[in-house]
A and B are shown apart, each in its own frame.
Chain A
Amino acid sequence: MSPRLDGASRDDRLPPERDLDAPDWLERLRAADGAPGIGTLGRFEIHGEVGRGGQGVVYRATDPDTGRRVAVKRFVTAGRGGTGVHLRLQNEILATRALSHPGVVRILGVESDGECPLLVLEWIDGLPLNEWAAGDGTRPSIDAIVEMTGKVCEVLLHAHQRGVIHRDVKPSNVLVDAGGQPHVLDFGLAKLDGTSATTTSARFLGTLAYAAPELVTGGPAAVDARSDVYALGVILHEMLTGQLPYALGTSIFSAVEAIRGDEPLRMRAAGVDSALEAIVRMALAKAPEERYQSADALLADLRRYRRGEPVEARGRTAWESMRGFARRHPGPVTIVVTLTVASLVFGTTMAVLHQRLQRALARTQRIDSFWTAAFGGQDTPLAWSELDVEDVLNRASTRATAELRDEPDIEFGVRTLLARRYIDLGLWREVGRQCERALVLSGGARADEKQSVMALAYLGFAHCLTGHADGDSLLHRALELEQGRPASDPLRCAVILNLIARFHWGEQQPPNFAAAEIDYQQCFAALGRRPGPSHALLNAWRGFARMKQLQQQPAIAIPAFERALVVLDDLPDEPGAIRIGLLEGYADVLAQETRWAEAERAYRSAIELRGGLLDDRLPPCWAMLAGTVFAQGRAAEAMQLYHNAIVARCDRLCERFPKDRAQFQQQAAIVRREGLRPDQVAPFVDLLRQRAPDIEPLFRYTADHLVAVHQTLGDSRTAAALRAALDASVAAARPAE
Chain B
Amino acid sequence: MSWTTTNESLIDRLRDPHDEAAWRRFDALYGEVILRYAGRRGLGFADAEDVRQIVLLSLVRALPNFELQHERGRFRSYLGRVVGNAVQRYRARPYRLREVVEPDLAPFEDHAPTVESSDLWEREWTEHHLRRALETVRQTFDARSVEIFGRLLRGDATDTVASEFNASEEAVHKVRQRVRERLRQIVSRQVADEAAFLAAWPPRQTP
B-binding residues in A (CB < 8 A): 2-3, 5, 8, 14-17, 19-21, 25-26, 28-33, 35, 38-41, 46, 48-49, 136-137, 178, 552, 588, 592-597, 627, 630-633, 635, 697, 700-701, 704-705, 707-708, 711-712, 714-717, 719-720, 723
Contacts and interface: CB of A to CB of B under 8 A. Distances in A.
A17 B73 CA distance: 11
Contacts of A632: 17, 64
7 contacts: A15-B129, A26-B176, A49-B31, A594-B20, A705-B105, A708-B62, A708-B105
A1 to B, nearest CB: 9
Contacts of A2: 114
B35 A712 contact: no
B55 interface: no
Interface residues of B, number: 62
> Could you say which of B45, B99, B152, B154 has the most chain A C-beta atoms within 10 Å of its C-beta?
B45
Contacts of A596: 17-18
Interface in B48-81: 48, 53, 57, 60-62, 64-66, 71-73, 76
B73 to A, nearest CB: 5
Contacts of B131: 32-33, 35
B102 to A, nearest CB: 6
Contact of B184 (A17, A33, A630, A701): A17
Given A631-B17, A708-B109, A716-B207, A40 B187 contact: no
A716 B57 CA distance: 24
Interface in B129-155: 129-131, 133-134, 140, 143, 152-155
A33 B134 contact: yes
A379 B133 CA distance: 71
A17 B109 contact: no
Interface of B: 5, 17-18, 20, 23, 31-32, 35-36, 39, 44-45, 48, 53, 57, 60-62, 64-66, 71-73, 76, 95, 97-99, 102-103, 105-106, 108-110, 114, 122, 125-131, 133-134, 140, 143, 152-155, 176, 180, 183-184, 187-188, 191, 205, 207
Contacts of B109: 707-708, 711, 719, 723
A631 B134 contact: no
A594 B72 contact: no
B61 A627 contact: yes
B72 A700 contact: no
B56 to A, nearest CB: 9
Given A32-B130, A178-B143, A707-B109, A38 B71 contact: no
A701 B103 contact: yes
Nearest to B36: A38
B183 A20 contact: yes
Contact of A5 (B72, B95, B98, B180): B72
Given A29-B130, A594-B18, A716-B207, A38 B32 contact: yes
A192 to B, nearest CB: 32
A31 B124 CA distance: 11
A47 to B, nearest CB: 8
Contacts of A708: 62, 65-66, 105-106, 108-109
A707 B106 contact: yes
B103 A704 contact: yes
- Ranked nearest first, the 7 interchain pairs of A and B with the lowest CB-CB distance are A594-B17, A32-B127, A16-B129, A39-B45, A32-B130, A15-B126, A716-B207
Contacts of A720: 110
Contacts of B44: 39
> Could you say which of A20, A700, A712 has the most chain B C-beta atoms within 10 Å of its C-beta?
A20
Contacts of B125: 15-16
Contacts of A3: 71-73
Contacts of A719: 109
A38 B48 contact: yes
B126 A19 contact: yes
Nearest to A4: B72
> Could you say which of A46, A597, A715 has the most chain B C-beta atoms within 10 Å of its C-beta?
A46
A625 to B, nearest CB: 13
A188 to B, nearest CB: 20
Contact of B45 (A16, A38, A178, A631): A38
B130 A631 contact: no
Contacts of A17: 184, 187-188, 191
Contacts of A712: 65-66
Contacts of A32: 126-128, 130-131, 134
A29 B138 CA distance: 13
A592 B32 contact: no
A29 B122 contact: no
Given A17-B184, A20-B183, A630-B65, A592 B57 contact: yes
A91 B36 CA distance: 33
B60 A631 contact: yes
Contact of A48 (B20, B32, B106): B32
B102 A701 contact: yes
B135 to A, nearest CB: 9
B102 A714 contact: no
Contact of A29 (B53, B73, B153): B153
Nearest to A113: B45
A40 B45 contact: yes
A607 B35 CA distance: 38
A32 B102 CA distance: 34
A28 B133 CA distance: 13
B134 A29 contact: yes
B17 A38 contact: no
A632 B63 CA distance: 10
A8 B72 contact: yes
Given A5-B72, A29-B153, A707-B106, 17 more contacts: A2-B114, A3-B71, A3-B73, A14-B73, A16-B126, A30-B155, A33-B134, A552-B97, A594-B60, A596-B18, A630-B61, A632-B17, A700-B103, A705-B102, A708-B62, A708-B108, A714-B207
B190 to A, nearest CB: 8
A602 to B, nearest CB: 15
Nearest to A638: B65
A16 B130 contact: yes
B98 A26 contact: no
A46 B44 CA distance: 12
B45 A46 contact: yes
A263 to B, nearest CB: 28
B205 A714 contact: yes
Contacts of A30: 153-155
A130 to B, nearest CB: 12
B91 to A, nearest CB: 16
Contacts of A35: 36, 127, 131
Nearest to B2: A134
Contacts of A40: 45
B106 A631 contact: no
Contacts of B133: 16
B148 to A, nearest CB: 13
Given A16-B126, A723-B110, A5 B71 contact: yes
A20 B105 contact: no
Contacts of B184: 17, 20-21
Nearest to A2: B114
Contacts of A21: 184
Contacts of B126: 15-16, 19, 32
A701 B134 contact: no
A140 B21 CA distance: 23
Given A14-B191, A552-B53, A715 B98 contact: no
